[in-house]
Amino acid sequence: MYKYLYLCVELKKSHIAKEGLFQYRNMFQLVNVNSLENVIRAYLRMAEEHTEAAQAQSSAAVAVLELDDLDNIATPESILMSAVCGEDAQDRSDRTILLPWVKFLWESYCQCLELLRINTHCEALYHDIARMAFNFCLKYNRKSEFRRLCDKLRKHLEDICKSTNQTTGVSITKMETQQLCLDTRLFQLDCAIQMELWQEAYKAIEDIHGLMALSKKTPVPKTMANYYQKLAMVFSKAGNQLFHAAALLKLFQLTRELKKNLTKDDMQRMASHVLIATLSIPLPSAHPEFDRFIEADKSPLEKAQKLAVLLGLQQPPSRASLLKEVTVINAIEAIPGDNNPLAPYVRPLKDVTIMRLIRQISQVYESIEFDRLLNMASFCSIF
């Protein structure tokens, strides 16, 4: 079998390798699972080694891997651009040597995942290959393939939830299966954040929350802390200061309850982070009844309720409710200026301060000179 797969890799015949692995799985999935696992790992290892060797031969790998879609290596536009620009021999060599191996490796991962997706004896191997595929997308900056991989794993999970009990079927009710799925989605979330694919990161968070809700056992505190930390990061990138602060507050409360040996400096640092994030939340609208006339998307309340579920909240938080909870936290008064991790909150804080300043001025003055207003807002360099 090893020789058979070796020839498939050398000839880049992934579809023939798939047929051989399919037959081998049917013969050994019940009688010798270790042999099946060793064969699949050896196949993927050979594919990875050949891809890395091809990358080493390519002096322009970075430029080649900017191609958006592996399914369209040579598009009509690229052929026309090559004729106009006069693509040199090195570029053609890179395209010939490297990309076919990258495509072959990608197809190999997908085929192995399809092969093992419903086999309870190979669950650990399935999730190992999923993480290998995520690393592949991260290493070669394959954003299109990353999205496809996320969709594929999501479809596999849906099929598992719908499937009936079989001899070799995977059951989502098993604690081991739930934990493996959860670990893979957490790894997926980390990769999505590293690749700055925030939409995929949010989808991964929804999947993680669904798995935690499905489990009868409460996730370990370390997992929940990681979940809240990543959730706060995604909310921050989305510009949602309200739920960003709410996620940080949940993280702080969890850490304070579980880490009895937390130092005073660490406690103050986390409390300061929560306090600054909460103060950076934009002020609520003075006339919320008018907002419905300018909302073009879903109801803000509907969105907020959906996000609140991810945080385990009964109802959406508000700026006032978060400030009320923050009052019990002893926030640090002096924040260091060097390499300040709270620097991203400077601009939101200035925006909130200016808005509050203008509101207060409007209640006192009918008119005011612009120069005087600028002096009042001297903390802001651009008005």
Rg (CA), the chain: 27
CB of 54 within 8 A of CB of 64?
A: no
Q: How far apart are CA 329 and CA 272, in angstroms?
A: 9
Mean per-residue pLDDT, 245-252: 92
Q: How far apart are CA 145 and CA 134, in angstroms?
A: 9
Which of 24-33, 36-45, 222-231 bottoms out in mean pLDDT, i.e. has the lowest? 24-33
Burial 227-244 (b: 16+ CB within 10 A, else e): bbebbbbbbbeeebbbbb
Q: Is the pLDDT of residue 161 over 90?
A: no
Confidence at 339, pLDDT banded by 50, 70, 90: very low
Provide the token pair at 243.
């739920």
Mean per-residue pLDDT, 100-128: 92
CB of 164 within 8 A of CB of 172?
A: no
Closest C-alpha among 121, 66, 124 to residue 91: 66
CB-neighbour burial class of residue 137 (10 A; exposed 0-12, middle 13-18, buried 19+): buried
Q: What pLDDT does 79 receive?
A: 65
Confidence at 89, pLDDT banded by 50, 70, 90: very low
Hey, what's the torsion of the CAs at 247, 132, 203, 114, to 10 degrees? -150
Burial 83-107 (b: 16+ CB within 10 A, else e): eeeeeeeebeebbebbbbbbbbbbb
Mean per-residue pLDDT, 300-325: 87
How open is the CA angle 269-273-278, to the nearest 5 degrees? 150
How many Cβ atoms sit within 10 Å of the Cβ of residue 68? 10
CB of 157 within 8 A of CB of 209?
A: no
How many Cβ atoms sit within 10 Å of the Cβ of residue 245? 29
CB of 9 within 8 A of CB of 53?
A: no
Stated pTM of the model: 0.78
Element housing 380 (H / E): none
Provide the token pair at 112.
């192995």
Mean per-residue pLDDT, 82-108: 71
Residue written as token pair 């996730």: 219
Q: What pLDDT does 115 receive?
A: 92
Closest C-alpha among 219, 248, 253 to residue 231: 248
Mean per-residue pLDDT, 82-96: 56
Mean per-residue pLDDT, 7-22: 91
Average pLDDT of the residues of the chain: 81
Q: What pLDDT does 276 receive?
A: 84
